[in-house]
């Protein structure tokens, strides 16, 4: 449901428009970063962050499904200007704590307008500025903001409602059909048979988080995905901490080390794709054991990085499968 539809909208005269040098849409991880750089690089320029939700965080606030976590390491997903000191792959709560600290440390909160939903954006050649129509969700007022530069940091999710395919027979299904983006807080899946459709990063998060509580959980996929298991800690960071390297230097060293490794893997996916593919499949076979049909369930038909590689912190999805708590069905 679009909350704006249920609000009595009152037009505000154009003369009451608020003007800023820069209009930032979204107060998630990107919007906060944009605000930081505005303060650091554009001193004296005015800016505002317009956020639809009632608080900061974007995806990490709106998504509530079990085990929700990043699918990228926080040394590169996080900020270069704020050292990350948690695990490589972080939970939503850990990320929100990190963002909360960033807002305070950089005094950014005062620039955020919560419950301000951008409904229209247009460029005026006459005024040489952006004109935004914004609904104040709390009051129902329709406001106008103008700015010289529009910085879109809202991400690519439609937070109000995720996409749900219309599968034949859905209306006849007697169980619960749940979209991860709108996960009910009171959903009881204990001792239930659960089917997860898809084998991307969300499935890789949900399954190990739910496996111990469900009767059994199955990942249903049309075709396999490349997964690789990594320890959910940075060995380089642990070593640097032991010799008392500063947190800032440690962060920069680990961040650059990860970026170099990522660049190497990407290059190999083009130049040495068959060898890289064999290494990824061998890694899956190592974790799943000799009796598991890795060729069928974890051997994609495409070369690595034609689709995104999915990280499994500490190999948790593989562990759930090997313990018999989860299974995979392919080619459906």
**Over the stretch 287-326, which tens digit does the pLDDT of each residue have?**
999 999 999 999 999 999 998 889 999 999 999 999 999 9
What 3-state DSSP class applies to 241?
Answer: helix
Q: How far apart are the first and last CA of the chain?
A: 31
Region 14-37: mean pLDDT is: 93
Phi, psi of 254 (to 5 degrees): -65, -40
- Is residue 225 within 8 A of residue 277, CB to CB? The reply is no
Phi, psi of 285 (to 5 degrees): -65, -40
Please give the pLDDT value at position 331: 86
Phi, psi of 15 (to 5 degrees): -65, -20
Phi, psi of 60 (to 5 degrees): -75, -10
Model pLDDT for residues 58-93, shown as the tens digit of each residue:
999 999 999 999 999 999 999 999 999 999 999 999
pLDDT class for 157, splitting at 50, 70, 90?
confident
Please give the pLDDT value at position 332: 67
Long-range contacts of 301-306, Cβ-Cβ distance < 8 Å, separation of 24 or more: 301/223, 301/224, 303/269, 303/273, 303/274, 303/276, 303/277, 304/226, 304/265, 304/268, 304/269, 304/273, 304/276, 304/277, 304/280, 305/265, 305/266, 305/269, 305/270
Percent of the residues in the chain that have a pLDDT greater than 90, as a whole number: 87
CATH of domain 3-152: 3.50.50.60
* Alpha helix ranges (H) inside the chain: 29-41, 59-62, 74-77, 92-105, 201-210, 235-242, 247-271, 273-288, 294-297, 316-322
Rounded distance, CA 98 to CA 191, Å? 35
Among 109, 98, 100, 116, which residue's Cα sits nearest to residue 39?
109
* Annotated domain spans of the chain: 3-152, 188-229+261-330
Region 141-160: mean pLDDT is: 92
Q: Which of 158-172, 179-193, 238-252 has the lowest mean pLDDT?
A: 158-172
Rounded distance, CA 7 to CA 130, Å? 25
What 3-state DSSP class applies to 146?
Answer: strand
Task: Count Cβ neighbours within 10 Å for each residue of 266-302 and write b for 16 or more, e otherwise.
Answer: eebbeeeeeebbeebbebbbebbeeebebeebbbbee
């Amino acid at each position: 449901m679009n909350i704006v539809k249920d609000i009595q909208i009152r037009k505000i005269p154009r003369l009451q428009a608020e003007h800023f040098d820069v209009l930032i849409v979204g107060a998630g991880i990107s919007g906060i970063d944009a605000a930081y750089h505005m303060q650091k690089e554009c001193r004296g320029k005015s800016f505002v962050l317009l956020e639809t939700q009632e608080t900061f965080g974007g995806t990490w606030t709106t998504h509530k499904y079990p085990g929700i976590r990043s699918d990228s390491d926080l040394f590169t997903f996080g900020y270069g200007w704020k050292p990350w000191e948690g695990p490589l792959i972080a939970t939503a709560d850990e990320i929100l704590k990190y963002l909360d600290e960033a807002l305070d440390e950089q005094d950014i909160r005062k620039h955020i307008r919560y419950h301000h939903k951008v409904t229209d954006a247009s460029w005026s050649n006459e005024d040489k500025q952006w004109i935004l129509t914004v609904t104040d969700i709390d009051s129902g007022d329709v406001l106008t903001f103008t700015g010289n530069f529009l910085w879109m940091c809202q991400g690519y999710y439609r937070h109000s409602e995720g996409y749900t395919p219309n599968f034949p027979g859905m209306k006849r299904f007697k169980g619960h059909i749940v979209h991860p983006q709108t996960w009910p807080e009171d959903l009881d899946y204990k001792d239930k048979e659960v089917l997860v459709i898809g084998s991307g990063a969300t499935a890789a998060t949900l399954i190990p988080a739910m496996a111990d509580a469900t009767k059994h959980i199955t990942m249903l996929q049309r075709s396999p995905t490349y997964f690789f298991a990594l320890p959910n800690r940075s060995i380089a960071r642990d070593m640097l901490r032991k010799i008392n390297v500063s947190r800032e230097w440690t962060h920069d060293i680990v961040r650059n080390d990860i970026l170099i490794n990522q660049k190497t893997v990407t290059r190999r996916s083009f130049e040495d794709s068959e060898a890289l593919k064999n290494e990824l499949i061998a890694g899956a076979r190592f974790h799943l054991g000799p009796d598991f049909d890795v060729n069928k369930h974890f051997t994609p038909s495409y070369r690595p990085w034609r689709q995104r590689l999915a990280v499994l912190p500490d190999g948790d999805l593989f562990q759930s499968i090997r313990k018999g708590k989860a299974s995979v069905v392919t080619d459906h």
